[in-house]
Amino acid sequence: MNLKRLFTASSLALAVLASGAVHADAPPSGVRGAITAINGDDLQVKTNHGEDVLVHLTGDTQVRGVTLANIADIKQGSYVGAAAVPQDDGTLKALEVHVFAPSMAGTGDGHRAFDLAANSSMTNGSVGDLVVANGRTITVKYKGGEQKIFVPEDVPIVNLVPGDRSLLKPGVKVVLFAQKAADGSYTAKAISAGENGLKAPM
């Protein structure tokens, strides 16, 4: 009897895994590319790697616009996000910086691993110290810590602003973070769309 119960429990566990429920707990995947078609709540996106993927939008999907910015738009107290890689001295070197609209302050607060490049991280927080004239270095403070981030002159800096689905059109370049389903499709949690042909650098 015990063996029979063990076999039944194991079979149920395997069935749950096979059903794709395991994907619900997986971290969101980053998808970067351009919209090729729109059909209701579904987007067709050709990724930067040449794949064609299906992306589902829901009522909870956040849409953000991406516009050009520069280092002068970053001020003490600005809320920013920076993808970066570590330097030998323990500081970070930015790969891109996005400046959130004031209404979006607090979005994604913290420091975590990111998928823009090998060993990259994402830091979202408020700018403390800001040194533009001497090294373009910012201190980004978040709950529980802070990071010093060097911003090279050739690193893209953009504004991230609240948007809506009117920004989503064929040809628009997007970056989205989404849950991947067992069938290979994605359900977007948030999508950033470049305005006026801009390629979102995140």
Per DSSP, 185 falls in state: -
Give the pLDDT confidence of 131-140 residue by residue, as tens digits. Answer: 665 568 999 9
Average pLDDT over residues 28-47: 95
In this structure, what token pair is assigned to residue 117? 């490049």
In this structure, what token pair is assigned to residue 172? 């628009």
| Model confidence at 187: pLDDT above 50 | yes
Give the pLDDT confidence of 172-184 residue by residue, as tens digits. Answer: 999 999 999 999 9
Q: What is residue 25's predicted lDDT score, i.e. its pLDDT?
A: 53
pTM surpassing 0.85?
no
| Model confidence at 20: pLDDT above 60 | no
Q: What is residue 28's predicted lDDT score, i.e. its pLDDT?
A: 78
The rounded distance, in Å, linking the Cα atoms of 57 and 165 is 10
Q: Which among 44, 51, 81, 53 is positioned nearest to 66, based on CA atoms? A: 81
H or E segment and range at residue 32: strand 29-39
88 Cβ neighbours under 8 A, 6+ residues apart: none
Q: What is residue 18's predicted lDDT score, i.e. its pLDDT?
A: 37
The rounded distance, in Å, linking the Cα atoms of 148 and 174 is 28
Q: What is residue 129's predicted lDDT score, i.e. its pLDDT?
A: 78
| Model confidence at 82: pLDDT above 80 | yes
Q: What is residue 15's predicted lDDT score, i.e. its pLDDT?
A: 37
Give the pLDDT confidence of 90-132 residue by residue, as tens digits. Answer: 899 999 999 999 999 999 999 999 999 999 999 999 999 776 6
